Amino acid sequence: MARTRPYRAQTRRKVLDAAYVVFGERGIAGTSLEQVAAAAGLTKGAVYSNFRSKDELVLTLMEEHAADRITKSLQAMEADLTPSQVAHQVGVVLAQEMRADAGWHRLLAEYAALTRRDPAGAEGLRQGRREVRDAVAGVLDRLVETFGVTLPMPSADLAIVVLALGNGLALETEIEPDGVRDDLFAQVLGIIASDVVTVVADTAADAQDVPVG
């Protein structure tokens, strides 16, 4: 049993890695599990022993990537940043991820389109995205605790905004790579953060002006 578990984990990893490559080359709709198995150097049975369907494979691939890469990148931010620097640095980190992982955004866009007429697939995608948003919101909550920043809205809502901004910029980058500046993500989040700082400062000033007694 001790040898079986590591082998199963290695097989699962091979399938996921091969699926990312083949999906990127052929698209999700144009890829079969037989092709994924061949790319991984495995039998079709080995693929099915880890994933019951192509939908499950796609969802696992996207969820694993989004939750793992984004949260690890944000958690790796330097601990000595000032609150005013945090939003900019978050934007820098996410922009780097966006540039490096254009393939993931293509897969997400394709699968979202494919599931429009597939209720089961659509529900799986919704659940997966909820988990991704929850993971990002959790990181934002930790940034609040670590850096003492004030979020402009609940972390769950801001997670949606951050992910939507990243997806939108990734699409524009895919269409015209040179048309999207590397610092645009950071600049937009910086504007949001500056609004928060202004609101907090104004609120503090108003509190001081309130007569006592």
- Checking 142-145 for CB contacts under 8 A at 24+ apart, the result is 142/75, 143/74, 143/77, 143/86, 143/90
Instruction: Supply the angle between the helices 102-114 and 83-100 in degrees, to the nearest 10.
Output: 70
What phi and psi values does residue 82 have, to the nearest 5 degrees? -80, 160
Q: Which of 203, 68, 70 is nearest to 143 (CA)?
A: 70
Residue 209 pLDDT exceeds 60: no
Q: Is the dihedral of CA 169, 80, 159, 149 positive or negative?
A: negative
Q: What's the N-to-C CA distance of the chain in angstroms?
A: 74
The full set of domains in the chain, from first to last, is: 1-51 (1.10.10.60), 54-203 (1.10.357.10)
Of residues 203 and 79, which shows the higher confidence score? 79
Per-residue pLDDT tens over the stretch 141-184 = 888 888 777 888 899 998 898 888 888 888 888 888 888 887 88
Per-residue pLDDT tens over the stretch 42-86 = 999 999 999 999 999 999 988 777 667 666 666 666 666 776 677
Contact (Cβ atoms closer than 8 angstroms) between residue 36 and residue 18: yes
Q: Token pair of 189, please?
A: 């989040």
